[in-house]
């Protein structure tokens, strides 16, 4: 049964203290750009540039998670060239999915056929996700600093929450308490089976 906006709001309020949620782990990350100074939230001082660090799957970096099969249990849909994963635990946003190439290649290294497939699958995923009950929008993001293997993120924004709109939806994902697992699993099943209408196989 989908979670309504009112049900989500009540669940979120109940998980915090006085309606305020705890700070997420990301607030302690080096790349987190804000800090509290004299009671105000201000940008951190920008450090001097240094050498680029190798990414996962590059020479000198750690092994690629995808290529070492570390994400095998997370697969919800797959075909000959692409794999769609979701984390093993529920997220703060209704759904967070990642689309990977089977081949260890970065976005800039995709040939025209695979680049075209990426566009088609991404468009289909957005339509499917935005067709789920309680979803206001699907955001599509690609960051290339963590790993050298093509991976594109899909974030489902809950309907009706103005504060969660735009790029800050990603931060809210780490702030909000996890969605009920049964709601998430039902949504994953819907996404995987609908995507399989164009080919590939649902794994959930």
CA distance 84 to 154: 10
CA distance 183 to 2: 6
Q: What angle do CA 74, 191, 88 make, to 5 degrees?
A: 20
179, 173 contact by CB (below 8 A): no
37-87 residue pLDDT tens:
999 999 999 999 999 999 999 999 999 989 998 888 999 999 999 999 999
- The pLDDT of residue 69 is 86
5: closest CA among 170, 161, 192, 183? 161
- The pLDDT of residue 134 is 94
Burial class (CB in 10 A: 0-12, 13-18, 19+), 76: buried
Question: What are the structural domains of the chain?
Answer: 5-202 (3.30.428.10)
Give the count of beta carbons closer than 10 Å to the beta carbon of residue 59: 6
The predicted model scores a pTM of 0.94
- The pLDDT of residue 197 is 97
Region 190-201: what's the mean pLDDT? Answer: 97
Contacts of 158 (CB under 8 A, 6+ apart): 5, 8, 93, 94, 134, 135, 136, 164
116-174 residue pLDDT tens:
999 999 999 999 999 999 999 999 999 999 999 999 999 999 999 999 999 999 999 99
């Amino acid at each position: 049964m989908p979670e309504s906006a009112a049900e989500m709001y009540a669940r979120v309020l109940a998980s915090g203290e006085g309606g305020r949620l705890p700070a997420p782990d990301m607030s302690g990350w080096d790349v987190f750009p804000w800090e509290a100074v004299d009671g105000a939230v201000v940008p951190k001082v920008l450090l001097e540039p240094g050498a680029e660090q190798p990414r996962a799957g590059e020479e000198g970096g750690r092994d690629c998670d995808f290529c070492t099969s570390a994400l095998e249990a997370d697969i919800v849909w797959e075909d000959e060239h692409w794999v769609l994963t979701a984390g093993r635990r529920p997220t703060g946003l209704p759904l967070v999915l990642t689309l990977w190439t089977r081949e260890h290649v970065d976005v800039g290294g995709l040939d025209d056929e695979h680049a075209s497939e990426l566009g088609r699958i991404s468009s289909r995923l957005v339509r499917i996700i935005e067709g789920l009950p309680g979803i206001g929008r699907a955001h599509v993001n690609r960051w290339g600093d963590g790993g050298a293997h093509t991976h594109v993120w899909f974030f489902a924004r809950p309907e009706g929450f103005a504060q969660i709109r735009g790029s800050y939806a990603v931060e809210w994902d780490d702030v909000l308490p996890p969605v009920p697992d049964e709601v998430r699993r039902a949504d994953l099943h819907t996404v995987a089976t609908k995507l399989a209408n164009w080919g590939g196989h649902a794994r959930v």
